[in-house]
Amino acid sequence: MHSRSVAIVTGGSRGIGAAISERLTVDGYAVVINYAGRRDDAVALASRLVAQGGEAVALQADVSDPVAVQRLFDATEARYGGVDVLVNNAGVMDLAPVAQVDDAAFDRLVAINLKGSFNCMREAAHRLRSGGRIINFSSSVIGLRLETYGAYSATKAAVEALTTVLSRELRGRSITVNAVAPGPTATDLFLEGKSPELIERMAKMNPLERLGTPADIAAVVSFLAGPQGGWINGQVIRANGGMV
């Protein structure tokens, strides 16, 4: 039996996911860095974390495929003996006014953000050891109700609904289910294609007057995954500097 607690981080190869993977290895977890297509990024991150004294491995799975998600949990159990923490971080963003969202974009958002999160939650509900943690990812844009974020926000609102319901369904197993809803966070994905003026304006939207960092979000995940967060359950934590 493996002595460390074991965490799966979906979409764990870059941005917020990579920061979470790193933070959880520092916290002492064996971390499975899940990726869909970015194998090189995931393998390089796992190698770096191992070199720093952590326990990490990169495993491929498209979360929108339920069979792939089962295999991901199978492989994790085979390697480490069980799963204690699921961080449901994998997601995509595609922005357009509702009137202009094409079917392919809508289907991709639903397949990855909603069905992908659901597939992982469903598997975790069967697989997680007693005392485990499920940490989903929403977004603070739900509260902002920004134009062009309609379809994206809809997938995240659904994740929030599932979070609360699943937390009640896992009664008696000491497993908590929560969601983290970041505000604007300085990742490559976020900064790409935005003017300095727009970035500055978004940074000023919260009273702390800065963008979040991936490490800020990873700290919230660390809290929820660890013993200090054990009494938080069925909640959405808006990690956004007080924006909404």
Which residues are catalytic, by number? 152
Beta strands in the chain (DSSP E): 6-9, 30-35, 55-60, 85-88, 133-137, 176-182, 236-239
Looking at residue 94, its amino acid is D
Strands 133-137 and 176-182: parallel
The angle formed by the CA atoms of residues 104, 110 and 113, to the nearest 5 degrees, is 125
Residues 134, 175 contacting (CB under 8 angstroms): yes
Cα distance between residue 96 and residue 122, in whole Å: 30
Cα distance between residue 238 and residue 181, in whole Å: 5
- Within 10 angstroms of residue 243's Cβ, the number of other Cβ atoms is 18
Cα distance between residue 236 and residue 165, in whole Å: 12
- Write the DSSP symbol of residue 99: G
Burial of residue 197 (number of CB atoms within 10 Å: 0-12, 13-18, 19+):
exposed
- Within 10 angstroms of residue 108's Cβ, the number of other Cβ atoms is 15
Question: In degrees rounded to 5, what are phi and psi of residue 209?
Answer: 55, 45
CA 125, distance to chain mean position in Å, is 16
